[in-house]
Amino acid sequence: MAEFHKEDIARLMDGVLPWPAVQDMLKSPKDLDRFDKYLEIMAERVPWDDTILLPLTPQLMIVARKGERVVKCLCGQEYGDYRVNWKLSALVHVRDSQQALDEIYRGRDALDEAWVQLREYICPGCGSMLEVEAVPRGCPPDFEFLPDLDTFYREWLGRELPDKCEYEDRTLAVVAEWSSEGE
Ligand SMILES: [Zn+2]
């Protein structure tokens, strides 16, 4: 595969190709330099200075900030430790009535309010729609992607991150803290 130039990557990011193509490009181990170019472009585009470690979604980045790894929106809004599902810190608009669901899906695609709710996760900082999930009622928010950053850097990029961080899903621990605060 040909090397990706920084301008090519910028074009990809600007939507010439869809986001999955960009992710494929990043996943291919053949030209690891493209990952650093990608981070360079992102760093030029965001209004803050924290080092980007990994893009999580088109809108959310994992960044290094004061010895911690936190999720941050392009606008600067922070979502805390990346090992905790960022959805816990987002605004959520839940569509769980038939009328609200029908505004999105109609006809053959219609969802049944008895079974499904649509959750729209919105950034409190900039109002961007970050994610939409269609899930059974009562289902906890889906934690789509918890990357093992240390392994990714060591085995894919061939370098270590300056700090170490235990790789674990801390979402339930945070929820447990919230519940004990209410007692
Ligand atoms: Zn934002």
Q: What is the pLDDT of residue 137?
A: 86
Give the distance (Å) from ligand 1 centre to CA of residue 74. 6
Q: What is the pLDDT of residue 6?
A: 75
Give the distance (Å) from ligand 1 centre to CA of residue 16. 23
Q: What is the pLDDT of residue 163?
A: 87
Give the distance (Å) from ligand 1 centre to CA of residue 78. 8
CB burial of 100-112 (b: ≥16 within 10 Å; e: otherwise) equals: ebeeeeeeeeebe
CB within 8 Å of 155: residues ≥ 6 apart: none
Give the distance (Å) from ligand 1 centre to CA of residue 76. 6
Give the distance (Å) from ligand 1 centre to CA of residue 28. 29
Q: What is the pLDDT of residue 76?
A: 97
Give the distance (Å) from ligand 1 centre to CA of residue 54. 17
pLDDT tens readout for residues 77-87: 999 999 999 99
Give the distance (Å) from ligand 1 centre to CA of residue 19. 18
Helix (H) or strand (E) holding 118: strand 116-122
Q: Which two tokens stand for residue 127?
A: 């109002």
Is 0.85 topped by the overall pTM? Answer: no
Give the distance (Å) from ligand 1 centre to CA of residue 61. 11
Residues of the chain with pLDDT under 50: 1
> Measuring CA to CA, which residue among 117, 116, 142 is closest to residue 131?
142
CA distance linking residue 116 with residue 134, whole number of Å? 6
